[in-house]
């Protein structure tokens, strides 16, 4: 059983064992790896995006925005409303790897602005983002 025949072929049981061993070995390897991560920085300091996500229209006060994000990069007034602007970098790192055959790494940095407009009662009236200058860096292994 499981021996090589004279003609140089493997018997049925030997072939089955070979396939099982190969499948077991390959299952231990990661065949395809895909990762996508984002990091945020404000003035060279890491910025936790949850601080931006917690700002809620109609609920968050000006004092809470200042406590969470600090002083704005710019402050503008129009039609009796104040708008704070915060600038930050969003860096996206992407990686795709297929066994040992192919590997791709990409990094893209977006300079973004986050706007917070306040209503007359000093609660957040509106928030929005604006992409300024995307910069891409792509490398292949």
CATH architecture group of domain 33-140:
2-Layer Sandwich (3.30)
What the block records as the tokens of 86 is 């915060």
Return the ∠ at Cα 15 (arms to 11 and 18), rounded to 5°.
Answer: 140
pLDDT band at 75 (very low <50, low <70, confident <90, very high): very high
What the block records as the tokens of 112 is 């973004």
Rg of the chain over CA atoms, in angstroms? 28
Pairwise CA distance, residues 134 & 98, whole Å: 27
- Averaged pLDDT for residues 95-123: 85
Q: Domain-by-domain residue ranges, the chain?
A: 1-30, 33-140
Secondary structure of residue 3 in the 3-state scheme? coil
pLDDT digits (tens, 9 = 90+) for 27-50: 555 567 777 777 778 777 777 788
Q: Is it the case that residue 8 has pLDDT exceeding 70?
A: no
pLDDT band at 137 (very low <50, low <70, confident <90, very high): very low
140 - beta bridge partners?
Answer: 104
Q: What is the 3-state secondary structure (H, E, C) of 112-140?
A: EEEEEEECCCCEEEEEEEEEEEEEEEEEE
Pairwise CA distance, residues 60 & 118, whole Å: 9
- How would you class 101 by CB atoms within 10 Å of its CB: exposed for 0-12, middle for 13-18, buried for 19 or more? exposed
């Amino acid at each position: 059983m499981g021996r090589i025949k004279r003609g140089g072929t493997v018997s049925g049981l030997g072939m089955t064992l070979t396939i099982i061993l190969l499948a077991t070995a390959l299952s231990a390897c990661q065949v395809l790896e895909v990762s996508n991560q984002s990091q945020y920085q404000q003035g060279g300091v890491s910025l936790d995006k949850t601080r931006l996500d917690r700002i809620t229209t109609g609920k968050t006060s000006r004092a809470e925005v200042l406590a969470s994000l600090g002083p704005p990069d710019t402050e503008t007034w129009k039609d009796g409303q104040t708008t704070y602007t915060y600038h930050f970098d969003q860096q996206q790192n992407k990686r795709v790897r297929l066994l040992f055959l192919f590997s791709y790494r990409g990094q893209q940095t977006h300079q973004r602005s986050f706007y917070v407009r306040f209503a007359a009662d000093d609660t957040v009236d509106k928030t929005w983002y604006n992409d300024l200058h995307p910069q891409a860096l792509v490398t292949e292994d």
